[in-house]
């Protein structure tokens, strides 16, 4: 899955720390007003540029980041990995998905951040972090890691996965379903888990069997 599991762990750790830092900035009394000021400015900008064509596109992007799309893709990937007998990849992807889903509900309940007002779509639950951003990052980044071989082609697909996750997250901000900081934290958390589990499982396998293949 990864050429260098140590580098994967380092990048994953950096992404997860970034998610924690964003969360701290959102909720610490000393920094919360400044973060909210940025979130409010982006919220006002979203309202200022609102138009019917953009809203229609944003709703499609939001749907693409929903469970209706993510879960079938995840299931299909696991079936393919099982058919190919890529058990380590299947385990890494499963762990990334399961841990991401376990994070969403408890963290939302703990933070209990209010959603932005005047949302253009129906929303439920607390705002932080963005479940759509977490799920999309885990699915998009994770699928590339477990399905594509290392090399230039995978790198291009990973860039596409990051770009898609970012655009989908911004669609949630445009629809006023989330504050900008919700989506940033969610994307960092999802990408960190998607990369971290493959790196961790490969590091464990290499420790037990240094001659084991790196893919």
pLDDT digits (tens, 9 = 90+) for 141-178: 999 998 988 888 888 999 999 999 999 999 999 999 99
Number of domains making up the chain: 1
Cα separation, 156 vs 165, in Å, equals: 14
Query: Would residue 19 count as lying in a domain?
Result: yes
Residues 6+ apart with CB under 8 A from 199: 2, 5, 6, 7, 8, 9, 12
Q: With respect to residue 213, please indicate whether it lies within any of the assigned structural domains.
A: no
User: What is the rounded distance in angstroms from the CA atom of residue 167 to the CA atom of residue 170?
Assistant: 5
| CB 141, CB 162: distance < 8 Å | yes
pLDDT for residue 57: 97
| Residue 84 domain boundaries | 5-208
In a domain, 123, yes or no: yes
Q: How many angstroms separate the Cα of 34 from the Cα of each of 15, 25, 71, 205? A: 22, 9, 36, 44
Residues of the chain scoring pLDDT < 50: none
Indicate whether 32 belongs to any domain: yes
CA gap 121, 55 in Å, rounded: 10
pTM of the model: 0.91
Within-domain flag for 215: no
- The CATH number given to whatever domain includes residue 159 is 1.20.144
């Amino acid at each position: 899955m990864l050429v260098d599991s140590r580098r994967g762990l380092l990048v994953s750790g950096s992404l997860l720390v970034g998610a924690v830092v964003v969360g701290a900035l959102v909720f610490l009394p000393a920094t919360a007003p400044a973060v909210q000021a940025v979130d409010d400015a982006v919220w006002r900008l979203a309202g200022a540029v609102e138009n019917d064509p953009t809203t229609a596109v944003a709703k499609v992007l939001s749907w693409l980041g929903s469970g209706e799309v993510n879960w079938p893709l995840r299931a299909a990937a696991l079936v393919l990995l099982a058919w190919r007998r890529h058990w380590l990849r299947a385990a890494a992807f499963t762990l990334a998905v399961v841990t991401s889903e376990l994070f969403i509900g408890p963290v939302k309940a703990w933070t209990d951040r209010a959603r932005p007002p005047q949302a253009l779509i129906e929303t439920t639950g607390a705002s932080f972090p963005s479940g759509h951003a977490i799920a999309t990052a885990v699915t998009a980044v994770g699928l590339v890691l477990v399905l594509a071989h290392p090399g230039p082609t995978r790198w291009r697909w990973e860039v596409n996965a990051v770009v898609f996750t970012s655009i989908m997250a911004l669609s949630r901000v445009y629809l006023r379903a989330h504050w900008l900081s919700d989506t940033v934290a969610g994307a960092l958390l999802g990408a960190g888990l998607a990369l971290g589990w493959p790196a961790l499982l490969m590091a464990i396998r290499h420790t037990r069997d240094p001659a084991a293949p790196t893919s």
